[in-house]
Amino acid sequence: MSRRLLVVWWTMTGGTRQLVDAFCEGAVTQEGIVLSVRRADEAQPGELVAADAALFATPENLGAMAGMMKDFFDRSYYAALGRVEGRPYATLVCAGSDGQGAARQIARIATGWRMKPVAEPLIVITHAQTPEAILAPKRIDAAALARARRLGATLAAGVSMGIW
């Protein structure tokens, strides 16, 4: 029996996408997992409702999740309310210096949906602090990509085995 894992992501400088790609590499190592990878502006509430688990991946912009991720949650919140309770999720945040604000926002929304976090948010710090560095394309290091891969394998394994 296959299980659906929805990945909703957004990026402007490529860092979050690199982490999502690594997460997906880990997730597909697990038998019976069907990945649905959607940019936040394309993801639909029904896809979340149909998924057995989800990954929410965003950069942190000005101490908060990216606006397009917020848009996804705004469009999906009431459509998914009462329909995703107990489902597992994980969070990836690509941030210049902190990442906690975006992670807290996602946790609050997922808590409202009564979803279950399977791990602490994976926050990758790029140390981009100048306007030029913040706007520049990101290059995520191998260690952070390995952590994202492990998170993908972990979430997918738990879903595949029915642990969560």
Distance separating alpha carbons of residues 8 and 1, to the nearest angstrom: 23
The predicted model scores a pTM of: 0.97
Q: Measuring CA to CA, which residue among 159, 162, 164, 163 is closest to residue 4?
A: 159
**Beta bridge partners of residue 34, listed in sequence order:** 4
Beta-sheet pairing, 116-117 with 88-95 = parallel
CA Rg value for the chain: 15
**Beta bridge partners of residue 8, listed in sequence order:** 38, 56
Fold category of 3-161 in CATH = Rossmann fold (3.40.50)
- For the stretch 35-93, pLDDT in tens is 999 999 999 999 999 999 999 999 999 999 999 999 999 999 999 999 999 999 999 99
- For the stretch 78-115, pLDDT in tens is 999 999 999 999 999 999 999 999 999 999 999 999 99
Q: Around Cβ 38, how many Cβ atoms within 10 Å?
A: 15
